[in-house]
A and B are shown apart, each in its own frame.
Chain A
Amino acid sequence: MKRLFYTISSLVLLCASAQAQESVYPAKEYKGKLYITNGTVHVGNGTVLENATVEVNNGKIVKVGTGIAVPADDVKVFDAKGKHVYPGLILPNSDLGLTEIGAGVRASNDVSEIGDFNTNVRSITAYNADSRVINVLKGNGILLTSVAPEGGIISGSSSVVQLDAWNWEDAAYKMDAGIHLTMPSFIQRFGRRGGGFPGGFPGFGGAPVDPAKQALDRVEAIKNFFREAKAYLQESSHANTNLKLEAVKGLFDKKQKLFVHGDQVKQMLIAVDFVKEFGFEVVIVGGSESYHIADLLKANNIAVILGESHALPATEDDDIDQPYKTPAALQKAGVLFALNDNSANTRYRNLSYNAGTAVTYGLTKEQALSAITLNAAKILGVDDRTGSLEVGKDANIVVSEGDILDMKSSTIIMAFIQGRKVSLENKQTQLYDRYKSKYGIK
């Protein structure tokens, strides 16, 4: 009889003498049964079950509902009375594990490769499962992410990882799930990050460039790349092996999706064109102007991973809350969309609050939750295994003190990845303990 009851209080931060995060271990595999009882269960698909139990066996969810009996057996039981139970949150596009310290430490970054068409570059091979950001994110309920390379026109392939691993092979949840393309911009930006001033500004010489023409020329180059790839892939033997062309086979086989990074209407319209010409499954990443063409996106089955909602309106005249209410516009049009947090300053930890803001500006709470769980899983092609608390899926679960979308009640008290109860300790909690101890704070 080893029936174990865990009370919430005993679970929080067992580590009294904090070290570095090196003392935080990935959780051991657990094949037995596990029950999270009496919680408010947010399934992720819109359903909310009060006072419900989630039963897990061998890392998978086997039952969800009320009236599930907990056997007097060799099982783990976690009481979630008064707490909220959610699917593990999914950060749908990030540079996690590739960018360690963004500013000033070039050596710590492995996110952007040299070259325009790096289809064969694989983010998973550089994913640092020991990144210091990872454990912080678990503390904010984020249990999976898609790690994507950046730079060039085609940056390479992204992989979905789970955030409790010893190395990248452990971490890999779905490898090379998507190819990432940055759609050429129809706007010529200037300034430090934009590179160069447009010819239109007085006092800056140089022939004015028509950014639209430039963009279309580059789009044609991209299309040619895919046309040649398609032709190449029709023949099985080649005198000259071409890794770049081979790497996009999955796009034509629909085993991979094309993630098109772009915010502008015209960039997205070109993405529609890619669907038409090549039959790719296309996902827009960014999409700040997607609300202008939501119906077209819907009609062409294009999903959207919206950039951070906590953003300023694009133009001076835009509704001042436009980025906050864009999710509601996509929801209304029936577009499949996920929300993201790409803040470089908070390192993506505010994903659930971006969803919370979307609630304030028009989504229901469960719609917003789907946008950071089930929708993200669908878009990343892992909804057969995660994204909701449904029977048969991996037990990727977070338990929160209260409403996870509202900061003041969103303390995460438990998290499970594939049924393993993962540590919520991280460098920040360790330093917190260390200095609470210094000052004698309770």
Chain B
Amino acid sequence: MRKLKLLFSGLLFASLLQAQESFPVNGVADKRDGCYAFTNATIVKDAQTTIANATLVIRDGKILALGAGVAIPKDATVVDCKNKYIYPSFIDIYSDYGITAAQRAQGGFNFGGPAQLTSNTKGAYGWNQAVHPEVDAVRQFVVDDSKAKGLRDLGFGTVLTHVKDGIARGTGAVVSLANEKENMVILKEKASAHYSLSKGTSSQTYPGSIMGSIALLRQTYLDAQWYKNKPAKEGVNLSLQAWNDNQTLPQFFEAEDKWNDVRADRIGDEFGVQYIIKGGGNEYQRVKEIAATKATYVIGLNFPQAMDVEDPNDARAVSLGDMKHWELAPSNPAALEKANIPFCLTVSDLRDQKSFMTNLRKSIDMGLTETKALEALTKTPATLLGVYDKVGSLETGKQANFIITSGPVFAATTNILHNWVSGKKYAIKEDAWSEVKGNYTLTINTVAGPIKYALDVKNASTANVIGKDTLTGRFTHDGKMVKLSFSPVAARRPQAPAGGEAPGAGGFGGGRGGFGGGAAATQYRLSGVSNGNYWSGTGEDTAGNKLTWSAKLDSVYLAANNDSTQRRRMGNQRLAKVSYPFDGYGWEEAPKQESILIKNATVWTNEKEGKLENTDVLLKDGKIAKVGKSISADGAKVIDGTGKHVTAGIIDEHSHIAAASINEGGQSVTSEVRIADNLNPEDINIYRQLSGGVTSSHILHGSANTIGGQTQLIKLRWGANDEDLKFKGSDGFIKFALGENVKRSTATQGNNRFPDTRMGVAEVLNDAFARAKDYEKAIKLDPKTRRDLELDALVEILNKKRFITCHSYVQSEITAALRVGDKYGFTFNTFTHILEGYKVADKMKVHGASASTFSDWYYYKVEVTDAIAYNAAIMQKVGLNVCINSDDAEMARRLNQEAGKIVRYGGVTEEEALKMVTLNPAKALHVDNKVGSIKVGKDADIVVWSDNPLSIYAKSEKTIVDGIVYWDREKDLEQRKKIQAERFRLTQKMIGEKRTGGPGAVRPAEPSWQILLSCGDHEHEDGLYTVEMHEGESKDK
């Protein structure tokens, strides 16, 4: 037995033969050419070319010849591949095979803890611990046969491996999955360079946000360019050196989400790089945007598992978006194929690698063609990596990397039998090589003479013995060894145990139903060796008599031809629809711009005409076309405004919705980061705020640091992509912050980041602008001066091309900021929060600043102990441009009411109060020429209210942006019904999965957390399934 096993694994010894020349041999030289001929096979050379009844000849690990009628070398070992298929083995382009996963250093960022401001990496490397382009996977790569086997079993022969850690990750190497010395498996040492938005194990504080990662990458591109001239002041920087060296390689970007795909591509566009993008599996949700990146994608097949939603209370927490994604995720590859987006497939995301083929089949069922699937696993990755001359198809001269399968490779019943890597065989399912299924004649040579039985073998573990009756026995056939035990007489009915029954006569049948008595006492136990059609061996009967046996194949069953057309197609099934956004409230069909006539309403113009009764407003081509009496509809959709109030859309000067990250708190000055780099157009709060009449929101960086990031003004175009969300043609702004937050007052474990006092905050400002002035001069003198994105933004401020909105509370810090502005000749455009603005309103007026404040917040932290609800009224009466903002996703839905409070606290007129949430913020944001009032020629950003808009009883019935009705209270009611119906359908489907899918088919329901980003300044009311995130926090890895 032991001997036999050794014999079968004998091929493994061949590996020694391929050791490289320079290695000494211990023993007698045993060089072999490894020449094989695989005959009678269906050879799939590549996705387009299949040759029937062909031969493949290999030698020395390379393909020597292939085709029909190829001559077989005399020294070739011939392997008959009748009924078998041969494919090029697969390539996984996104592996970390042979690389030890990086461990996160102790410490890391802690919201309450001290900051790590510099890199912990020792050596002549760059400043940021997450940027390590100098890491070469090939130097860390170690063959790991247990991991290799897992991949080979799936049909892979080659992988691109790299260190999956950090923002700039270094280079990847193409290696084969052979179990040989490292030297022999490396196909390409440096085949790729890798990037991501995740800082991974870096414990350095910066960057702590997606937009920070983007800024860091952009700056590094600039730094590397600058470093090419070997600037003396930089010394030797091995990181920048490596960055430059890596640029000629294919550039991979791990984006992992549809919007990150787009974000990554934009970085590439800026620096002339076309990334190959590792997607997140949700690309099908935004195919148009994905196609526009023109990138090739690497796509995983990690489809979400169904959830256990039988308990309605658990089900409630799972969003329709997540349920739809569960249903549609397998359609991702098909969606890419349909849109002609090139892609490769990877197993790297799978929790359970073994599900790769099952999941791939799901994708094929949902429309992915087998041709494209094969290409995505062979030619596409090989071509991207520049190794198509070696792997990726079966052609003369290429590596002998191929798999032998029992049928078409993607068919459900097909087994991968062998995986040959560099001409070396790795058996995957040897037992399935010979079709064991068939009718055999079994001859048992008993002491009484030979007895013949018919043996009906169903598969490698099930067989019936047919004598007088059909008997099932215990049967195994592992390709070489056969075991069979059976009792020649069937148990037909239970009988009383007979005293004479021989021990061990329990026989087969799993103990079910007793049998015994008489002839049933005999049982045969046989074991032997299979030689394909003929098996033979020895055995014993119950009496202990030794015997021999043999079995001979009479007739074979041919493997069913698993043509893809036989597969159950899912085309007829009802499936979720892709909506924009991919939320419950997303549009399946986006609302369109219309000509709209609102008739006979009370119109709050915010212009000198004031409030006009019984007035019509005509919207056309996205603009306000006419305001007046008895305007003719002229084909426009008419809305009866009788009893209704019409105002300009609300503009929220201070908002944190619709972004993937808000705070880059890694440093005190981060003017290089931009909210625009990470807009999130799928935030449900966009829709919710439309319901409160909001049409534009100024998305601000948080208040974690003195000079925060660049802000982005958006319009609430629900359903648009990130780029189309932007308020086009608006001036750039930037967020500053003063006081408690920037000095990290809540850092429970102490603050080590300058500043720690308001004195220091003022000096951060002084220093930043002093540096900016010097920088501006230096660039003028010498254009080769290092470009600094941080200072670029500050120079824009000095040149009145970028404007500040400054988080501030107390009079001392406000005054100090004003004086910095005076000193460097710039204006603080807006002070936001500004709860002590009333104390220095006169100074602000002289300076020319706007104020954007809360109506009635107070006393939630020390610096607001003097906050008063009369603040806005005082500032307004002193003559400031005063806005009321939200800084809160909930309150933003009620900004009209917040304005109403200013009537109550300080007696501002209703019309002036309304301006505080419409025209005044438009002025503060320099867009009052486009929005903020009802004036002919301005954008058709309009709200139709059920009541006086300053009343708590007012509801927005319609909120219109650019002449498009994005919020319609009646349509919303329909939408709710649709959500309910679709949720019901998908819940039932998941429950079905639980009932039919067997154990482990579902995972516990995972609530779809709504992530609410905030500046970290104050409390927000978190709903049950809402969680707040601040700087450095992330639910992502």
A112 near B: Cβ within 8 Å? no
Contact string against A for B residues 932-960, beta-carbon threshold 8 Å, 1 for contact and 0 otherwise: 00000000000000000011111100000
**Choice from A288, A310, A316 contacting B890 with Cβ under 8 Å:** A310
Q: Which of A191, A263, A317, A360 has the most CB of B within 10 A?
A: A317
Q: Are B858 and A203 in contact (CB under 8 A)?
A: no
Q: Are A191 and B1019 in contact (CB under 8 A)?
A: no
Q: Which A388-436 residues have a C-beta within 8 angstroms of B?
A: 405-411, 427-429, 431-432, 435-436
- Measured between alpha carbons, how far is A97 from B975 in the docked complex, in Å? 45
Q: Are B1023 and A311 in contact (CB under 8 A)?
A: yes
Q: Which B908-941 residues have a C-beta within 8 angstroms of A?
A: 910, 913
- 6 of the cross-chain contacts (CB-CB < 8 Å) are A345-B860, A360-B954, A407-B900, A429-B870, A432-B868, A432-B906
CB distance from B121 to the nearest CB of A (A): 22
CB distance from A180 to the nearest CB of B (A): 20
Q: Are B874 and A314 in contact (CB under 8 A)?
A: no
Q: Which of A264, A289, A314, A342 has the most CB of B within 10 A?
A: A314
Q: Which B855-869 residues have a C-beta within 8 angstroms of A?
A: 856-862, 865-869
**Choice from B317, B687, B1023, B1027 contacting A288 with Cβ under 8 Å:** B1023
Known A317-B584, A346-B856, A411-B904: A311·B687 in contact at CB below 8 Å: no
Contact string against A for B residues 997-1033, beta-carbon threshold 8 Å, 1 for contact and 0 otherwise: 0000001101111101000001101111111111001
CB distance from B874 to the nearest CB of A (A): 6
Q: Are A132 and B856 in contact (CB under 8 A)?
A: no
Across-interface contacts of B1009 in A (CB, < 8 A): 190
Q: Which A308-343 residues have a C-beta within 8 angstroms of B?
A: 308, 310-317, 319-321, 323, 342-343
Query: Closest B-chain residue to A265, C-beta based?
Result: B313
CB distance from A295 to the nearest CB of B (A): 16
Q: Are B1035 and A197 in contact (CB under 8 A)?
A: yes
Q: Are A356 and B1029 in contact (CB under 8 A)?
A: no
- Measured between alpha carbons, how far is A357 from B891 in the docked complex, in Å? 12
Interface segment, one of A71-79, A100-108, A249-257: A100-108
CB distance from A361 to the nearest CB of B (A): 9
Q: Are B874 and A353 in contact (CB under 8 A)?
A: no
**Choice from B950, B953, B1033 contacting A192 with Cβ under 8 Å:** B1033
Q: Which 5 A-B residue pairings sit nearest by Cβ, starting from the closest?
A: A203-B1037, A356-B952, A191-B1027, A344-B1019, A314-B1024
Across-interface contacts of B869 in A (CB, < 8 A): 428
Q: Which applies to chain A's interface (DSSP): helix, strand, loop or mixed?
A: loop
Q: Are A360 and B953 in contact (CB under 8 A)?
A: yes
Q: Are A190 and B1027 in contact (CB under 8 A)?
A: yes
Q: Are B688 and A105 in contact (CB under 8 A)?
A: no
Query: Closest A-chain residue to B1010, C-beta based?
Result: A316
Q: Are B900 and A136 in contact (CB under 8 A)?
A: no
Q: Are A132 and B865 in contact (CB under 8 A)?
A: yes
CB distance from A355 to the nearest CB of B (A): 9
Across-interface contacts of B1030 in A (CB, < 8 A): 192
Across-interface contacts of B584 in A (CB, < 8 A): 316-317
CB distance from B851 to the nearest CB of A (A): 14
Across-interface contacts of A411 in B (CB, < 8 A): 904
Known A408-B951, A441-B874: A314·B1021 in contact at CB below 8 Å: no
Query: Closest B-chain residue to A353, C-beta based?
Result: B952
Q: Are A315 and B983 in contact (CB under 8 A)?
A: no
A133 near B: Cβ within 8 Å? yes
Q: Are B870 and A428 in contact (CB under 8 A)?
A: yes
CB distance from A232 to the nearest CB of B (A): 35
CB distance from A27 to the nearest CB of B (A): 23
Query: Closest A-chain residue to B874, C-beta based?
Result: A435
**Choice from A312, A319, A323, A357 contacting B976 with Cβ under 8 Å:** A319
A384 near B: Cβ within 8 Å? no
Query: Closest A-chain residue to B967, C-beta based?
Result: A320
- Measured between alpha carbons, how far is A323 from B1026 in the docked complex, in Å? 14
B745 near A: Cβ within 8 Å? yes
Q: Are B874 and A436 in contact (CB under 8 A)?
A: yes
Q: Are A357 and B952 in contact (CB under 8 A)?
A: yes
B59 near A: Cβ within 8 Å? no
Q: Are A264 and B1024 in contact (CB under 8 A)?
A: yes
The total of chain A residues at the interface (CB under 8 A) is 73
Not counting A186-B313, A316-B1010, A349-B856, a sample of 16 additional A-B residue pairs whose C-beta atoms are within 8 angstroms of each other reads: A103-B1019, A104-B862, A187-B1025, A189-B1027, A200-B1004, A210-B1004, A308-B1021, A310-B891, A315-B319, A316-B585, A316-B1025, A342-B1021, A347-B859, A350-B856, A357-B894, A409-B904
- Measured between alpha carbons, how far is A312 from B1028 in the docked complex, in Å? 13
A223 near B: Cβ within 8 Å? no
Q: Which of A132, A210, A266, A432 has the most CB of B within 10 A?
A: A432
Known A407-B897, A407-B903, A408-B903: A313·B955 in contact at CB below 8 Å: no
**Choice from A103, A202, A263, A428 contacting B858 with Cβ under 8 Å:** A428
Q: A residues bordering B, Cβ < 8 Å?
A: 101-105, 132-133, 136, 186-187, 189-194, 197-198, 200-203, 208, 210, 263-266, 288-289, 307-308, 310-317, 319-321, 323, 342-347, 349-350, 353, 356-357, 359-360, 405-411, 427-429, 431-432, 435-436, 439, 441
B321 near A: Cβ within 8 Å? yes
Q: Are B904 and A410 in contact (CB under 8 A)?
A: yes
Q: Are B1021 and A311 in contact (CB under 8 A)?
A: yes
Across-interface contacts of A319 in B (CB, < 8 A): 976
Known A103-B1019, A406-B952: A439·B877 in contact at CB below 8 Å: yes
Query: Closest A-chain residue to B976, C-beta based?
Result: A319
Across-interface contacts of B140 in A (CB, < 8 A): none
Across-interface contacts of A311 in B (CB, < 8 A): 890, 1021, 1023
**Choice from B746, B842, B1028 contacting A104 with Cβ under 8 Å:** B746
**Choice from B889, B910, B1027, B1036 contacting A408 with Cβ under 8 Å:** B910
- Measured between alpha carbons, how far is A356 from B897 in the docked complex, in Å? 11
Across-interface contacts of B685 in A (CB, < 8 A): 312
Across-interface contacts of B906 in A (CB, < 8 A): 432
Known A311-B1023, A432-B874, A439-B874: A317·B983 in contact at CB below 8 Å: yes
Q: Which of A208, A307, A346 has the most CB of B within 10 A?
A: A346
B839 near A: Cβ within 8 Å? yes
Across-interface contacts of A410 in B (CB, < 8 A): 904
Q: Are B1019 and A407 in contact (CB under 8 A)?
A: no
CB distance from B433 to the nearest CB of A (A): 38
B691 near A: Cβ within 8 Å? yes
Query: Closest B-chain residue to A360, C-beta based?
Result: B953
- Measured between alpha carbons, how far is A264 from B1025 in the docked complex, in Å? 10
Q: Are A103 and B746 in contact (CB under 8 A)?
A: yes
B41 near A: Cβ within 8 Å? no
Across-interface contacts of B976 in A (CB, < 8 A): 319
Known A316-B1010, A431-B866: A101·B861 in contact at CB below 8 Å: yes
Known A346-B856, A346-B858: A264·B313 in contact at CB below 8 Å: yes
- Measured between alpha carbons, how far is A146 from B1003 in the docked complex, in Å? 43
Q: Are B313 and A266 in contact (CB under 8 A)?
A: yes
Query: Closest A-chain residue to B1006, C-beta based?
Result: A200
Q: Are B865 and A101 in contact (CB under 8 A)?
A: yes
Across-interface contacts of A265 in B (CB, < 8 A): 313
Q: Are B1019 and A345 in contact (CB under 8 A)?
A: yes
CB distance from A6 to the nearest CB of B (A): 21
B577 near A: Cβ within 8 Å? no
CB distance from B346 to the nearest CB of A (A): 16
B972 near A: Cβ within 8 Å? yes
Across-interface contacts of A202 in B (CB, < 8 A): 1037
- Measured between alpha carbons, how far is A347 from B861 in the docked complex, in Å? 11
Q: Are A312 and B1026 in contact (CB under 8 A)?
A: yes
CB distance from A287 to the nearest CB of B (A): 11
- Measured between alpha carbons, how far is A405 from B870 in the docked complex, in Å? 19
Across-interface contacts of A349 in B (CB, < 8 A): 856
Across-interface contacts of A200 in B (CB, < 8 A): 1003-1004, 1006
B583 near A: Cβ within 8 Å? yes
Q: Are A315 and B317 in contact (CB under 8 A)?
A: yes
Q: Are B890 and A312 in contact (CB under 8 A)?
A: yes
Contact string against A for B residues 979-1011, beta-carbon threshold 8 Å, 1 for contact and 0 otherwise: 100010000000000000000000110111110
- Measured between alpha carbons, how far is A430 from B828 in the docked complex, in Å? 29
CB distance from B746 to the nearest CB of A (A): 5
